[in-house]
A and B are shown apart, each in its own frame.
Chain A
Amino acid sequence: MEKENSNFKKADEFLQMFKRGEEFTKALLKDNEKLRYNIVQLEEQLQRAGNEERIKLFEERIAQLEQELSSYHERFREVEAENRDFALKYLEVEEENNNLANLYVASYQLHSTLDFSEVLRVVLEIVINLIGAREFTIFLIDEKTDNLLPVAAEGLETSSVPRVRIGQGTIGTVAREGESFFSENITEAKEVNLNEPIVCIPLKIKDHIIGVISIYTLLTQKAGFTNIDYELFNLLAGHAATAIYSSRLYTQSERKLTTLQSFLDLLKEKTVR
């Protein structure tokens, strides 16, 4: 009996010990779970810390790229402005080229011949084709009579244009003063008024005036004068004057030479006989 009691007691002690073991195991499991939870939390914190670092890096990179972008925008604006400048300069250069070509052709043609009538034809061509005049006259000064004689005309008969005394009217005044005349209403003149030219250009070799180009009307499509027209007027004032003067001298000397040659031939013939 006593032995049986001792066995019961041992069994009870074992049961108690087993229960404590169970509670201890449960406590361990709970701690384990807590620790796992802590590990997960720590891992999350670590990851978050890593992400923040990366975000910071990204933000810095974005700021850097934004700065680069704004500098590129700035450069783009500069290049655009430069392009606009270049385009404008290109147009200016083109215009300048065209003007130079016009001036070159005009002066080349004026000095391409020593024939007086040919030079007059070139002057007429320049005034019609390059300036756009429809009706005009070229006057030359007759030094014996102090009159301006019409030597060529376009749009009207040369013979129908009267002589002009130096100092008389607009044409005569231009021949005396040597200053170009431009009417304020150049496009309004639709019919020829020989006393009221719209433009008068003196033909001058330095200060020596040899004649006047007098324009009465312009071509329908000519809306007004541009810079190149004024350049052409200047060119005509000087180069046309030189070309006309030298061709006239050359023609006169050629004529004299022919006369002298005929005279010499005649003398030779007489000497031989």
Chain B
Amino acid sequence: MCNILIVEDSPTMRQLISFAVKRIRGASAIEANDGVDALKKLLSNKIDLILSDINMPVMDGIKLISLVRGNPAYKDIPIIVITTEGAEEDRRRAFAVGANAFIPKPIQTQELIKLANKLLEKSAGSSL
């Protein structure tokens, strides 16, 4: 069993990513509207993977990732950034604050599932 936190302000995208996540064996989706909501969900759940948008109100994805990486309790959680911005600069910013992977929108569900599985396996392997 693993919990995947979906941080996305668009309900359409949240629902779509949630559908994809539920197709990962043993995974359940926890949804958050923005960075602050995501931090609350992190406190109350054991999260194994974070899928986050960059452009969000209240707290954006870049700030969220840097806060997560700054906390020793969450610093090893793999993070995939999902955003409409495919530009190299956004990719660089996301990786600079500690994102593990980057998927541009519109997302290819199979690509997302494959990447999530890979990071979950890697994370499970390193925690043994």
Contact = CB atoms under 8 A, between A and B. Distances in A.
A130 B86 contact: no
B39 interface: no
Nearest to A130: B106
Nearest to A113: B11
B57 interface: no
Contacts of A95: 110
The contact size tier of chain B is 10 to 19
A125 B12 contact: yes
A111 to B, nearest CB: 12
B16 A132 contact: no
A130 B10 CA distance: 11
B109 interface: yes
Nearest to A100: B19
Contacts of B109: 98, 101
B16 A102 contact: yes
B13 A132 contact: no
A125 B12 CA distance: 7
A251 interface: no
Interface stretch (A1-9, A163-171, A214-222): A214-222
B16 A128 contact: no
A130 B16 contact: yes
Contacts of B86: 219-221
A105 B20 CA distance: 11
Contact of B12 (A94, A126, A134): A126
Given A94-B110, A220-B87, A109 B12 contact: yes
A141 interface: no
Interface residues of A, number: 24
Interface in A15-65: none
Contacts of B110: 94-95, 98
Contact of B10 (A101, A129, A131, A132): A129
A109 to B, nearest CB: 5
Given A101-B20, A219-B84, A106 B12 contact: yes
A109 B11 contact: yes
18 contacts: A95-B110, A98-B20, A98-B108, A101-B20, A108-B15, A109-B12, A109-B15, A122-B11, A125-B10, A125-B12, A128-B84, A129-B106, A134-B84, A219-B104, A219-B105, A220-B87, A221-B86, A221-B104
Interface of A: 94-95, 98, 101-102, 104-106, 108-109, 112, 122, 125-126, 128-132, 134, 219-222
